[in-house]
């Protein structure tokens, strides 16, 4: 059962091939001019994309009638992302929609002309995707989760929840420029909370066995994770491992807490994808990505899983629970 404590609604946004699987046919772009059909390219489709498609449906896009989705699969692997993006650019599609910094950078390398809507980017400027949030320039826009900017807040929440925490592990992808920016900020911020930082880099699926072995040997008090798409694809295994070894986990998205993680603090995934769909609609109606500022979140969700807290032998302070947007019993 899920109970809501002081639920605060997300109130909006500022600023407004080898190894590839082609999931659906990719019709020629000329069809749009003839039949008013929009072609939207998506890399690495997953359940996270349902709010994106639902929002477009609410904007009167009917799949097969006036919109066709072209899918390419790369599973977050760097070289396959480049091939997937290039395949969509060569169709071509009218707009490419991507989740996460690595896919956004791959799309940007593949085309300088097709509009790109990038969702859930930690630091678009540091990643080299845009020149500024207010004036993206180029052919890319989207939204940011302000990853590096909220590192201090996340560490404070972790300290509030587990006052004895002293050794913190950070699971990150060095190939993700936004995750690298978060890691750099954590290196500066962790000592302020008298915490020692343990780096857990994972570039590929094969790296997780090493990550788990390092967690056993280093035995941190807690682990912080990002929403890197590759990592999210393996997050169920990470959460199971943390529960088995009684390690607290602080995540960026609510879905990880629903799956058994201890806490999350970040932006709503569904809201990110719905916002992305709104940008796609604007672009399909003639807007230029350079004229659409990178949308920034103005509220963040704090989610706590009390069932997991009990399993870990933790007593979450009442004051923290009172601040939570959602408490899972």
Using CB atoms within 10 Å of the CB of residue 258, give its burial: 0 to 12 exposed, 13 to 18 middle, 19+ buried. middle
Where b means 16+ CB within 10 Å and e means fewer, 133-172 reads beebebbbbbbbbbbbebbbebbebbbebbeebeebbbbb
Question: What is the pLDDT confidence band of residue 32, given thresholds at 50, 70 and 90?
Answer: very low
pTM: 0.84
148-266+300-328: same fold as 17-145+269-294? yes
Q: Is residue 171 classed as helix, strand or coil in its secondary structure?
A: strand
Least reliable range by pLDDT among 32-46, 140-154, 188-202, 274-288? 32-46
Give CA angle at 16 (115, 8), nearest 5°.
125
In degrees, to the nearest 5, what angle opens at C-alpha 186 toward C-alphas 182 and 188?
125
Q: What is residue 78's predicted lDDT score, i.e. its pLDDT?
A: 83
Check whether 163 has a pLDDT greater than 80: yes
How does residue 6 score in pLDDT terms, banded at 50, 70 and 90?
Answer: very low
**Domain 148-266+300-328 class, CATH top level:** alpha beta
User: Which of 72-86, 101-115, 159-173 shows the lowest mean pLDDT across its residues?
Assistant: 72-86
Q: Where are the domains of the chain?
A: 17-145+269-294, 148-266+300-328
Architecture of domain 17-145+269-294: 3-Layer(aba) Sandwich (3.40)
Residue 103 in contact with residue 43, Cβ under 8 Å? yes
pLDDT over 90 (residue 3): no
| pLDDT average, residue stretch 23-29 | 39
**Band (35; pLDDT cuts 50, 70, 90):** low
């Amino acid at each position: 059962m899920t109970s809501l404590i002081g639920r605060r609604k997300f109130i909006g946004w500022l600023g407004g091939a080898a190894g590839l699987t082609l999931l659906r046919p990719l019709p020629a772009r000329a069809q749009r001019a003839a039949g008013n059909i929009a072609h939207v390219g998506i890399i690495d489709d997953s359940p996270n994309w349902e709010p994106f498609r639902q929002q477009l449906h609410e904007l009167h896009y009917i799949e097969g009638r006036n919109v066709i989705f072209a899918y390419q699969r790369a599973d977050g692997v760097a070289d396959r992302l480049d091939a997937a993006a290039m395949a969509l650019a060569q169709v071509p599609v009218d707009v490419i929609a991507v989740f996460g910094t690595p896919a956004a950078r791959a799309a940007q390398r593949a085309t300088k002309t097709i509009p790109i809507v990038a969702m859930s980017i930690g630091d678009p400027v540091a990643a080299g995707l845009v020149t500024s949030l207010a004036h993206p320039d180029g052919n890319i826009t989207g939204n940011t989760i302000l990853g590096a900017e909220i590192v201090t807040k996340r560490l404070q929440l972790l300290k509030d929840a587990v006052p004895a925490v002293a050794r913190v592990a950070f699971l990150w992808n060095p190939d993700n420029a936004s995750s690298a920016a978060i890691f750099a900020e954590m290196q500066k911020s962790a000592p302020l909370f008298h915490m020692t930082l343990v780096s857990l880099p994972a570039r590929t699926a094969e790296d997780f066995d090493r990550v788990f072995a390092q967690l056993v040997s280093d035995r941190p008090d807690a682990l912080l994770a990002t929403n890197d798409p590759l990592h999210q694809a393996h997050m169920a295994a990470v959460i199971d491992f943390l529960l088995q070894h009684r390690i607290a986990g602080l995540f960026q998205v609510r879905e990880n807490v629903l799956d058994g993680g201890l806490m999350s603090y970040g932006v709503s995934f569904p809201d990110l994808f719905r916002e992305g769909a709104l940008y796609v609609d604007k672009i399909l109606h003639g807007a230029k990505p350079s004229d659409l500022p990178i949308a920034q979140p103005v509220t963040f969700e704090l989610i706590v899983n009390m069932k997991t807290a009990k399993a870990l032998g933790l007593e979450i302070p009442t004051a923290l629970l009172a601040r939570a947007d959602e408490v899972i019993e």
